[in-house]
Amino acid sequence: MFWKVFVIVFLAELGDKTQLLLVAMSSKFRISHILTGVSSAILLLNLIAVSLGFAAGEFLPITAIKLVAGLAFLAFAYTFLSESKEESTRIKRGKYCPAITVMGTFFLAELGDKTQLSVIALSAATDAERLFSVFLGASLGLFLADMLGLAAGLLLRFKLPERLLEGVSFIIFSIFGLLTLYEGFYMLFDRSPFYASIVIIPLALLFSIICLKKAAALINRRKRKIKGRLGYEIDATGK
Q: So what's the pLDDT on residue 61?
A: 61
Q: So what's the pLDDT on residue 206?
A: 95
Structural domain tally of the chain?
1
- Cβ atoms of 132 and 4 closer than 8 Å: no
Domain that holds residue 152: 2-237
Q: How far is 46 from 155, CA to CA, in rounded Å?
A: 28
Q: So what's the pLDDT on residue 198?
A: 94
> What letter would DSSP give residue 226?
H
Chain centroid to CA 183: 16
Q: How far is 234 from 239, CA to CA, in rounded Å?
A: 6
Q: So what's the pLDDT on residue 41?
A: 87
Name, in order, each residue with C-beta under 8 angstroms of 46's C-beta and a sequence gap of 6 or more.
116, 119, 135, 138, 139, 142
The pTM of the full predicted model, rounded to 2 decimals, is: 0.61
Low-confidence ranges of the chain (pLDDT < 70): 12, 15-16, 52-62, 65, 82-96, 112-114, 117-118, 121-122, 124-127, 160, 162, 165, 226-239
pLDDT digits (tens, 9 = 90+) for 175-217: 888 988 998 899 889 889 999 999 999 999 999 999 999 888 8
Please list the helix, strand and coil fractions of the chain in percent, rounded to the nearest 5, in that order: 85, 0, 15
Q: So what's the pLDDT on residue 15?
A: 64
pLDDT digits (tens, 9 = 90+) for 156-169: 777 767 677 678 77
Q: So what's the pLDDT on residue 83?
A: 54
